[in-house]
Amino acid sequence: MGNILKYFKSYHFWIVAVFFIFIFFQTLEFLTESKYAFGLDGYYYVVQVRSYIENGKFLIPDFSLVFYFFVFLSKFGNDIVFTNKLGISLILSFIAVPSYLLGKKISNRTGGIFLSVFIISNTLIFYFAIEYLKNLLGIMFMLFFLNEYFSILKNKMHSFIAIKLFLFASFSLLSHKLTGALCIFLLFVLFLYYFRKISFLFKIIGFILIFFIFLIVYQNLIFHFLDLDRFNNFDLEHLQISARSYWREIQPCSTFYSVEIFVYAVIPIFSILLWFYSNGYERRILFIAIFLYYLFNIPFLKFIEKDAAFRLYIVNFIPSGIVLLLGIKRLPNTIILMFSVCIFLYIIPSRNFHNNRTKINYSELEKIVPKIAVPSNALLIAHPGFDYFYHYTTKKEVFRFLPEVEYKEKPIYRIVFGLSYDYVNKKNLYSKDINILNSEYSLMKEESWKKIHNSMPKNMYNSYNNWRNPYLHRPNFLKYRNSI
């Protein structure tokens, strides 16, 4: 009991507590500036929660823990959009806790404050709060996982830590497949390290057993693994450097953010210098951090989705923060706290970076939805963001990708973005079924769109193959979804 009271009397605890409260209210204030949900999938989460409340099951069989958390929070209010924002704020602010514990494990309590502030204050993590909520919860559990993981690297393995490792890896996997897969792979690395004297064949068998244990325990994740058809094999010949994707995102903004880009860019050089001044335990941590860094920056995957490399890149703050902490841990605590204060002040421009950067103007979509008139048995294709907002408003089915062959007998309509009416008139392709909704959006039959699209010259044709005009199939995803 005395140790617990001593912990609460520590000024480090109160710094983290105040930081947690500040992040919670600052995030909630940012998200509630608009009455609408944020991000391309904002209304996906709203629709899922509403479906569970009304029907006892999710509209799409997605088993991420974040949905159950949002369903729980929905009991405290009538507005699902608001309670979801409340959940996002809680998750983001609570990430300060495992970040602090991880930093404390690597260094000391002051190092814990530094890592906590670094992870929460950067611009990258807020992308998860807006666009990738399942990843956000997965990252929280992954940080708890790394805290236990580094305990094993420092001390010997014992059963209690092994149980915690399995639980946090499981929670991360149940939140999102990406963070879960990283945890499982790190478990395999740990397996190789502790059983390095046994033959390679037994190591491979051990990894397969670890993988199948997770798969058997969490069978519903088969659905998520089928969704991996968005990634198309390995591509070692044409590596996609993730940083380029981030630079494209950051380029139109203030050069102030070039400071953050510079920090991430020099991590490899900094880690090489750091290696020569590190002991065995620090080198083991450094190895894991640098491995994750290169995995996030140069993934060996050929992506069908153009922003997939960007999604990997924005997890960069975890390995980068670990490397930076290893580099400054020998400095006096006062200087480390000064660094932490400077990074904390960065949070204001970091959040402002996201102002007016959401890709969807839901207030405009709200005006368009009443103008959309399609037959009751028709299927509608709309871009991400529009699809679930339309379903949220009308409760009608809508797709963000091309439907399967089994739907070919149904009338299919499409909401087209950015159609050039000059081109349509010039080529005499205008038809009566084209309904101009506003200056950006048009509603038409799918066959009319194909006729217009196929008539375009190659450059123009390719310019319409973007996320605002869905053009990809995801057959395995649909087939499994409809079988449940």
pLDDT digits (tens, 9 = 90+) for 53-75: 998 888 877 778 899 999 999 99
216 has pLDDT over 80:
no
The predicted pLDDT at position 232 comes to: 47
Extract long-range pairs of 364-373: CB within 8 Å, 24+ residues apart.
364/438, 364/440, 365/389, 365/390, 366/393, 367/438, 368/437, 368/438, 368/441, 369/393, 369/394, 371/435, 371/437, 371/443, 372/415, 372/437, 372/443, 373/435, 373/443
The predicted pLDDT at position 236 comes to: 45
Say whether both 318 and 368 belong to one domain.
no
Domain boundary (306, 328, 350) is at 328
Report which of residues 10 and 275 the model is more confident about: 275
365 has pLDDT over 80:
yes
Q: What is the pTM of this model?
A: 0.84
217 has pLDDT over 70:
no
Say whether both 368 and 452 belong to one domain.
yes
Say whether both 467 and 418 belong to one domain.
yes
**Range of the structural domain that residue 393 is part of:** 362-483
Say whether both 370 and 422 belong to one domain.
yes
- Asked if 49 and 71 count as a contact pair (C-beta separation under 8 A), the reply is yes
Domain boundary (307, 328, 349) is at 328
Kindly write down the DSSP assignment for every residue of 410-446, as one continuous string: S-EEEEEES--HHHHHHTT---TT-EE-SSSEEEEEH
Average pLDDT over all residues of the chain: 79
Tell me the C-alpha distance between 168 and 197, whole Å: 27
Report yes or no on 462 lying in a domain: yes
Report which of residues 199 and 281 the model is more confident about: 281
pLDDT confidence bin for 251, thresholds 50/70/90? very low
Say whether both 275 and 378 belong to one domain.
no
Instruction: Centre a 10 Å sphere on the Cβ of residue 195 and count the other Cβ atoms it contains.
Output: 12
The predicted pLDDT at position 414 comes to: 92
Mean pLDDT of 97-110: 91
Say whether both 270 and 366 belong to one domain.
no
pLDDT confidence bin for 7, thresholds 50/70/90? low
Say whether both 318 and 422 belong to one domain.
no
Report yes or no on 14 lying in a domain: no
Tell me the C-alpha distance between 261 and 193, whole Å: 33
The predicted pLDDT at position 476 comes to: 55
Domain boundary (270, 302, 328) is at 328
Tell me the C-alpha distance between 74 and 46, whole Å: 10
Say whether both 479 and 389 belong to one domain.
yes
The predicted pLDDT at position 249 comes to: 56
262 has pLDDT over 90:
no
Report yes or no on 304 lying in a domain: yes
282 has pLDDT over 60:
yes
Report which of residues 45 and 229 the model is more confident about: 45
Query: Domain count of the chain?
Result: 2
The predicted pLDDT at position 57 comes to: 84
410 has pLDDT over 70:
yes
Mean pLDDT of 151-173: 82
Report yes or no on 82 lying in a domain: no
Tell me the C-alpha distance between 87 and 94, whole Å: 10
pLDDT tens sequence across 463-477:
888 888 988 776 555
Report yes or no on 374 lying in a domain: yes
Say whether both 473 and 366 belong to one domain.
yes
The predicted pLDDT at position 96 comes to: 92
Mean pLDDT of 326-336: 89
Question: Which distant-in-sequence residues (6+ apart) come within 8 Å of 1 by Cβ?
Answer: none
Q: 71 is written with which tokens?
A: 């369903």
Say whether both 375 and 449 belong to one domain.
yes
**Lowest-pLDDT choice from 382-386, 418-422, 445-449:** 418-422
Mean pLDDT of 243-265: 60
Extract long-range pairs of 51-57: CB within 8 Å, 24+ residues apart.
53/80
Report yes or no on 424 lying in a domain: yes
Report yes or no on 479 lying in a domain: yes
- Asked if 253 and 310 count as a contact pair (C-beta separation under 8 A), the reply is no
Say whether both 282 and 370 belong to one domain.
no
Report yes or no on 436 lying in a domain: yes
Report which of residues 280 and 156 the model is more confident about: 280
Say whether both 322 and 387 belong to one domain.
no
The predicted pLDDT at position 252 comes to: 44
